[in-house]
Amino acid sequence: MARKPAVCVAMSGGVDSAVVAWMLAHRGYDVVGVTMQIWQESQTDPRHSGCCSLGAVEDARRSARAIGIPHYVIDFKDAFKRTVIDEFVEEYTKGRTPNPCVTCNRDVKFDALLTKALELGCDYLATGHYARVRRGEPRHRLLRSKGGHKDQSYALYAMTQEQLSRVMFPLGEIGDKAVTRQMARDAGLPVANKPDSQEICFVSVAGGYREFLRKARPQAFEQGELVDTAGRVVGQHEGVAGFTVGQRRGVGIAVGRPLYVISIQPETNRVVVGDVEDLMRDRVNLRGVHWSGFTAERAPMKVNAKIRYNMEAVPATLYEDHLVFDLPVKAVTPGQIAVAYRGETVVAGGTII
């Protein structure tokens, strides 16, 4: 009987990746667990409890021991800082709102880690993402997870054809975190009841991302003017890096009605505020568009698209470098990601400009 392929499982210390390792080991694959060491010197504080933190590494090690697979920690600190953290700080300084998980998937997990897994002799890299891959000709396709209860295809839109040929997402066939947790309990995994991490993995729970940015780039927190959409000064702010388009809480002025951040202008150190109607847009311009399940030659094409992770995809037309929504959408945020779908298939995605 031919052996099944060798699979490197990226174990973050959470329940999802632990269940993936357990599933593949019990299916007869040659499984090795790997945790990326990405924390920086300032992150030895126990309040850092996100994926791949010091505590998470120990959780991954305990899970691997329970499953009976080898486990290794590989140093990706420099790559993580150079790509994810530096971009995070730079984007906020420029008035944009980045998605560090998308950057980590693109530049670290499915680039640097996949390369390392292949160098180690593994055939595939598996992760705990809720998505699916359909391999075939002429293109491999990234799909939503089954069921729709939990889907992370949005954060994986930038995967290349070569990467799609080498990854496994077993949880995409489940699509339900409650089912995953029950599998972990049945398997006796020590992380079965571990809470999900809700924070940015390199940001302290205590200080939040604004405190992180304040330490990294204090000049982005110089006081400036709050202006309305007509350019009239209506107040003062404490730094452009503390705002994101669509934000309502923390605007810092009271005028008898809700005010929202409409745009951020770091070049003049101004933040523009206005009414909710001022947030509505039907056109979304994109940079770095990556075509996944289809090619750019198919544009323009009718799709369903979303401009943030937790948004339901709605009808739009996708062009080579922009989307036009059938109905205006709220709070188009520079730096965030727009992803387009046809049915279950990821068509393309890009960064909002």
Residue 294's nearest CA partner among 351, 352, 342, 337 is: 342
DSSP helix, strand, coil percent of the chain (3-state; round to 5): 30, 25, 40
The CATH code that applies to domain 222-274 is: 2.30.30.280
Which range (40-44, 59-63, 178-182, 218-222) has the least confidence? 40-44
Q: Given this model, what pLDDT does residue 275 score?
A: 95
Which range (77-81, 128-132, 144-148) has the least confidence? 144-148
The overall average pLDDT reported for the chain is: 92
Is 51 known to be catalytic?
no
User: Quick one: pLDDT band at residue 194, thresholds 50, 70, 90?
Assistant: very high
The DSSP letter of residue 200 is -
How far out from the chain centre does Cα 234 lie?
35
What residues have CB less than 8 Å from 115, skipping those under 6 apart?
none
Asked if 21 and 11 touch (Cβ cutoff 8 Å), the reply is yes
The DSSP letter of residue 160 is -
Asked if 300 and 284 touch (Cβ cutoff 8 Å), the reply is no
DSSP element (H, E) containing 181: helix 177-187
Q: 199 pLDDT exceeds 60?
A: yes
- In percent, the amount of the chain with pLDDT more than 90 equals 82
The CATH code that applies to domain 6-187 is: 3.40.50.620
The DSSP letter of residue 3 is P
Q: Which two tokens stand for residue 263?
A: 């745009």
Nearest-angstrom CA–CA distance, 341 and 349:
9
Nearest-angstrom CA–CA distance, 132 and 121:
23
Nearest-angstrom CA–CA distance, 302 and 340:
9
**Tell me: the pLDDT tens digits for 156-192?**
999 999 999 999 999 999 999 999 999 999 999 999 9
Question: Mean of the pLDDT values across residues 110-116?
Answer: 96
350 vs 42, more confident:
350
* End-to-end CA, the chain: 53
Distances (CA, A) of 274 to 225, 278, 282: 14, 6, 18
Residue 348's nearest CA partner among 168, 154, 97 is: 154
Is 201 known to be catalytic?
yes
Q: Given this model, what pLDDT does residue 1 score?
A: 56
| Domain spans, the chain | 6-187, 222-274, 278-352
Q: 197 pLDDT exceeds 80?
A: no
Strands across the sheet with 260-265, in order?
A: 233-237, 224-227, 270-274, 260-265
Given CA atoms 185, 188, 192, 193 in this order, what sign does their dihedral have?
A: positive
User: Quick one: pLDDT band at residue 265, thresholds 50, 70, 90?
Assistant: very high
Distances (CA, A) of 278 to 49, 86, 304: 38, 31, 23
Nearest-angstrom CA–CA distance, 239 and 237:
6
Nearest-angstrom CA–CA distance, 335 and 81:
18
Spot the catalytic one: 8, 51, 104, 122. 104
Asked if 28 and 4 touch (Cβ cutoff 8 Å), the reply is yes
Q: Given this model, what pLDDT does residue 51 score?
A: 62
Question: Mean of the pLDDT values across residues 302-314?
Answer: 96
Backbone angles phi, psi at 144, to 5 degrees: -60, 160
Q: Given this model, what pLDDT does residue 47 score?
A: 44
User: Quick one: pLDDT band at residue 142, thresholds 50, 70, 90?
Assistant: very high
Question: Mean of the pLDDT values across residues 13-25?
Answer: 97
Q: 127 pLDDT exceeds 70?
A: yes
Backbone angles phi, psi at 136, to 5 degrees: 175, -175
Q: What is the 3-state secondary structure (H, E, C) of 263-279?
A: EEECCCCEEEEECHHHH
Question: Mean of the pLDDT values across residues 242-269?
Answer: 90
Nearest-angstrom CA–CA distance, 100 and 199:
11
CATH number for domain 278-352, candidates 1.10.530.10, 2.40.30.10, 3.30.930.20, 3.40.30.10: 2.40.30.10
Q: 143 pLDDT exceeds 90?
A: yes
Nearest-angstrom CA–CA distance, 52 and 169:
19
Q: Given this model, what pLDDT does residue 98 score?
A: 95
Q: 205 pLDDT exceeds 70?
A: no
Distances (CA, A) of 218 to 213, 222, 268, 294: 7, 8, 17, 43
Spot the catalytic one: 51, 52, 101, 201. 201
Backbone angles phi, psi at 106, to 5 degrees: -70, -45
Q: Given this model, what pLDDT does residue 235 score?
A: 93
Helical packing angle, 86-93 and 208-216, nearest 10° = 90
Asked if 43 and 133 touch (Cβ cutoff 8 Å), the reply is no
